[in-house]
Amino acid sequence: MIPQTHLIEVTYIIAVVLFILSLKWLSSPATARHGVWAGEAGMLLAIIGTLLYNGIVDYKWIAIALVLGAIIGVPLGNVQMTAVPQRTALSHAFGALCVTLVGTAEYYLRTPNVPPFVMSVLSLEVILGGLTFTGSLMAAGKLQEVLPQRPITYKGQNFVNLGMLGIAIVLAVMLVHNPANTHLYPMMVGISLIFGVMMIVPIGGADMPTVISLLNSYAGLSAAAMGFVLNSKLLIVAGSLDGASGFILSVNMSKAMNRSFTNVLFGAFGQVQTAVAGAVEQRNVRSATPEEAAAILSAANKVVIVPGYGMAVAQAQHKVRELYDALTKRGIDVKFGIHPVAGRMPGHMNVLLAEADIPYDKLLDMDEINGELPQTDVALIIGANDVTNPAARTDASSPIYGMPILDVDKARTVMVIKRSMSPGFAGIDNPLYYLDNNLMLFGDAKQFVNSIVRELTGGGGH
């Protein structure tokens, strides 16, 4: 049990206040760093308070574990910004591992005297913790590209997955009924661990923003369940804050991908989209050279740049920043339109652009930028495809019909930097490329942006 002595409770209450303030201050970039300090202070206080607990008989292993954890944590805090999604997935796994291990130890300490309610939340804790642990490891592996990124599907997959989850729940019910059934406990945890792997197997790279958010939510809920088991209000609060955050982000991501709410809850977002065969008749595509692109850009008053993950893959962020500088210097208004699923996790693209020193007040989300696109002279798309596809608005037969998109086609001129005419990740043809106001800029994103910048700064652009 978490100790109830007054001093410790006071440190916990202050920690809870600091945690809530921490998230509150995160609402704006101006105060966000205070949020980190508040979080750190709350965490330190809670840990010190816990160490004062007089039931602790041995500090040796605690000290070793704290030091070891810090040694592992430092490099994980210093990964490259492009690797933040896999780091986040890995930390969901660590969080879930902690919760699962504590739950397991509690079970073996208390059995057979586990009241039904405690056994229920303990089962919830370790089932959620177990599936989040292996699921997050799988997600991290796919993001790090040590595992194949393409979805692996087979017949009856949903049946198998739901069946496994069902068995885990049945075992939990049996344990609630009779907690002394110690042989059932490892089976329940084992099936949850396998379920976590199977859950992520059918999910492809493009769905990762939703998956990470969902795993975040599960990790938070399992920690809250642990709070119920240990009767710790501090853990319940921290876990529900994390769970709420993950839940909100999952819903955001599912809306951005046009997937239903139930789809998110059950994690069944792996459906392979039926790729439309490229039986499109040869239509006219206009292309332009860097010189022409630079001339059009320098004649504009208002430019919106739409970056996609392709830009990050090409490592073109810093060239894009040079383009932003060159255009801004000429008095051109440059903004960035960020689709919610532009990166590999919610908000990832903003971090990548902020790293390239692009001011955050120039980064606009989808709703904000869509209001401005009709008055925009040039929309420049770099490494994004499906999120700009007007078929999502107009073509009911398109697999992405209904998905909210950036209305770049409403700009006076659209320019798309792309290697070739090959369709995007979802294998869907993009009618944008055949519009009269569209120009294709064929080439590598980094090199092409660089050529435009050279034209603009070299004085030969107009």
- Which residues in 173-192 contact another protein (CB under 8 A)? none
C-alpha–C-alpha distance, residues 260 and 258, integer Å = 7
Q: At what angle do helices 116-143 and 157-177 cross, to 10 degrees?
A: 150
Work out whether 424 is an interface residue with another protein (CB under 8 A). Answer: no
Count of residues in contact with another protein, rule CB under 8 A:
118
Among 151, 246, 308, 337, binds another protein (CB under 8 A): 246
The mark string for 365-404 relative to another protein (x by CB under 8 A, - otherwise) is x---------------------------------------
* Distance (Å, whole) CA 150 – CA 217: 24
- Between 125 and 455, CB nearer to another protein: 125
Of 94, 266, 434, 442, the residue at the interface with another protein (CB under 8 A) is: 94
Residue 10 found at the interface with another protein (CB under 8 A): no
The 187-226 site mask, x for binding another protein (CB under 8 A), equals: -------------------------xx--x--xx--xx-x
386 is catalytic: yes
Token digits for 7? 């001093």
Map tokens 């805090």 to a residue.
Answer: 77
> Measured from the CB atom, is 59 or 145 closer to another protein?
59
Start-to-end CA distance of the chain, whole Å, equals 74
The span of 58-66, 141-149, 307-315, 370-378 binding another protein (CB under 8 A) equals 58-66
Give the residue from 312, 321, 304 showing the smallest Cα distance to 349.
312
Could you give the 3-state DSSP secondary structure of residue 221?
helix
**Least spacing, CB of residue 172 vs another protein, in Å:** 18
The tokens describing 369, both together, are 């930028």
Q: Shortest Cβ distance from residue 384 to another protein (Å)?
A: 16
Q: Would you give the binding string for another protein spanning residues 321-340, x where CB under 8 A is met?
A: -----------------x-x
* CB neighbourhood size of 52 (10 A): 12
Q: 334: part of which helix (H) or strand (E)?
A: strand 333-338
Site string for another protein, 31-50 (x = CB under 8 A): -xx-xx--xx-xx--xx-xx
| Binders of another protein in range 350-369 (CB under 8 A) | 350-351, 354-355, 357, 359-363, 365
* Stretch of 84-92, 140-148, 198-206, 409-417 lying at the interface with another protein (CB under 8 A): 84-92
Q: Structure tokens of 104?
A: 């397991």
CB nearer another protein, residue 234 or residue 392 = 234
- Whether 222 contacts 238, CB under 8 Å: no
Return the structure tokens found at 300: 């504009």
* Shorter beta-carbon distance to another protein: residue 201 or 303: 303
Among 10, 17, 56, 170, binds another protein (CB under 8 A): 56
DSSP SS3 for 438: strand
- Looking at the DSSP assignment, which residues form a beta bridge with residue 337? 364
Q: Which of 333, 365, 367, 386 is catalytic?
A: 386
| 69 lines the binding site for another protein (CB under 8 A) | yes
> What DSSP string describes 130-180?
HHHHHHHHHHHHHHTTSS--S----TTHHHHHHHHHHHHHHHHHHHHH-TT
Query: Cβ(291)–Cβ(461) under 8 Å?
Result: yes
Residues with catalytic roles: 386
